[in-house]
A = this chain, B = another copy of it.
Amino acid sequence: MQDSGPLTWPIGFRAYTGHGGLREHGDDISVVASDRPATSAAMFTQSLFAGPAVLLSRVHAEGQKLRAVTTLANNANVATGRQGEENAAEVVRRVAGILGVPQDEVLIGSTGVIGRPLPMDTIRAHFDETAEHGLAAFQAAPLDVARALMTTDTRPKTAVRTVGRARIVGVAKGVGMLEPNMATMLAYVFTDAELPPADLDSALRTAVNRTFNCLSVDTDTSTSDTVAVIANGAAGPVDPVRFAEALTDLCLDLTRQLASDGEGATKLLRVTVGGAGDPAQAKRIAKSVVNSPLVKTAVHGADPNWGRVLMAIGKNTDDTAIVPGKVTVSFGDIEVYPEEPEADTLDRLVAHMRQDEVDIVITLGLGAAEATVYGCDLSAGYVRVNADYTT
């Protein structure tokens, strides 16, 4: 289902990236736009401290007619007061002017340090110059945009799927402050498929719930999480069910890329809980394991300290239906509980834990519900990256 060759935009989309002085080097401003009206769906952080970019974008997303996304990287523009709101609105106004589209069809994302004013002098100079070139400046590929979104990401995240004659292209960023709740850091999906707004919205909600909302790098929910899909219909109508499947598959691809590039991460950690009483319980227990610092450090060191998985299940003290006698725990296909592992099982366990992906599989023996969540190990690199981020 994946394209080969360099990744290009779906029909009718174009993009530019540039340097607006938000960081010392490299592109930090991007715009992706459809050349024709489009249908959209979007989800945002539920943080109580959502920033001006999210507050403004929420309003614009309501019309389900977004046709452009602009992003400022390296500054979240959060907790910046009334001036922060005015700055976000000005950026949207300038992007809309360059594209010649209504302001309320532009979504704005902002990601980085909280509590610092945007450097509007250099941002204005950047947009003045871009406006002179107009649409001729729009030569960026998806990979360029993914790069311009990065903060402490070590690699750009892109993904592509096809459904019928349509293509779906996604770009994302996110490494820390990453336990999305109803949406993730920044993930944008562009497609030339034609879909009714309701189908697009439902496809996005299903996909996000099964992918980005099953991701946790560090339990910290960002103030800026945004995920949006824009469908401009240039490739004609598609089957909504197959589109929804392809969108979920693409979002899962991006989720895995986000998890394995978590701050300081050296491994992808996948935790599946089956036999749960209901889906919420499955996800709660799985997140408890994937977020346990002691499980994460054991995975980092390939330390076969499987008892910590039991601890992380057991700390959910409200889940009184869970009883040790019904629980099983495996790493990959290596069962470690309730049968006490033999010495050679521990050797196999260490070998499994040394891989780039570690799978923890838990069954609760209570029902038929299941959930899979994604995370990463906890390394000294996470501490290094975050102990002096602003200084």
By a beta-carbon cutoff of 8 Å, the part of chain A in contact with chain B is 46-50, 76, 78-81, 113-117, 176-177, 179, 181, 218-223, 291-294, 297-298, 300-301, 303-308, 310-317, 319-320, 322-324, 336-338, 340, 350, 378-380, 382-384, 386-391
Q: Which of B46, B304, B311 contacts A223 (CB 8 A)?
A: B311
A293 touches B338 (CB 8 A): no
Closest residue of chain B to A312 (Cβ to Cβ) is B220
Q: A47-B314, A49-B314 are in contact. List 14 more A-B contacts (CB 8 A).
A: A48-B313, A49-B313, A79-B310, A79-B337, A179-B315, A219-B293, A220-B292, A297-B386, A301-B386, A303-B386, A304-B390, A304-B391, A378-B383, A382-B383
B-chain residues with CB within 8 Å of residue A81 when the two chains form the complex: 338, 340
Q: Which residues of B contact A303 (CB under 8 A)?
A: 386-391
Q: What are 26 A-B pairs with beta-carbon distances under 8 A?
A: A47-B315, A48-B319, A48-B324, A49-B314, A78-B307, A78-B310, A79-B337, A114-B308, A115-B336, A115-B340, A176-B294, A177-B311, A179-B315, A219-B292, A220-B292, A220-B312, A223-B310, A293-B382, A298-B389, A300-B383, A300-B387, A301-B386, A303-B387, A304-B391, A379-B387, A380-B383
Contact A115 B307 (CB under 8 A): yes
Measured between alpha carbons, how far is A294 from B263 in the docked complex, in Å?
Answer: 11
Which residue of A218, A307, A322 has the most chain B CB atoms within 10 A of its CB atom? A307
Tell me the minimal C-beta distance from A8 to chain B in angstroms: 36
Contact indicator B181/A317 (Cβ below 8 Å) = yes
- Distance in angstroms from A177 CB to nearest chain B CB is 6
Alpha-carbon separation in the docked complex, A76 to B311 (Å): 11
User: Looking across the interface, which residue of chain B has its beta carbon closest to that of A76?
Assistant: B307
Min Cβ gap A222→B in Å is 7
* Chain A binding surface SS class: loop
Given contacts A292-B220, A389-B303, contact A311 B47 (CB under 8 A): yes
* B391 near A324: Cβ-Cβ < 8 Å: no
Inter-subunit contact A311/B176 (CB<8 Å): no
How far is A89 from B307 in the complex, measured between Cα atoms in Å?
22
Using known A-B contacts A323-B48, A324-B79, A380-B384, determine if residue A311 contacts B390 with beta carbons closer than 8 Å: no
| A305 contacts B340, C-beta separation under 8 Å | no
- Contact for A324 among B49, B384, B387, CB less than 8 A: B49
A222 lies within 8 A of B311 (CB):
yes
List residues of chain B with CB within 8 A of the CB of A338.
Answer: 79, 81
A353 to chain B, nearest CB (A): 11
Tell whether, in the assembled complex, residue B383 and residue A316 are in contact, meaning their CB atoms are under 8 Å apart.
no
Interfacial chain B residues near A312, Cβ < 8 Å: 220
The complex places the Cα of A76 from the Cα of B294 at a distance, in Å, of 15
Q: How far is the CA of A221 from the CA of B114 in the complex (A)?
A: 31
A113-B307, A307-B113, A307-B115 are contacts. A314–B50 as well, Cβ < 8 Å?
A: yes
Which residue of the partner chain B has the closest CB to A377?
B387
Query: B219 touching A297 by the CB < 8 A rule?
Result: no
In the bound complex, how far is the Cα of B47 from the Cα of A320, in angstroms?
Answer: 10
Q: Which residues of B contact A378 (CB under 8 A)?
A: 383
Contact call B219/A386, Cβ cutoff below 8 A = no
Q: How far is the CB of A389 from chain B (nearest CB, A)?
A: 6
List of B residues within 8 angstroms of A300 by Cβ? 383, 387
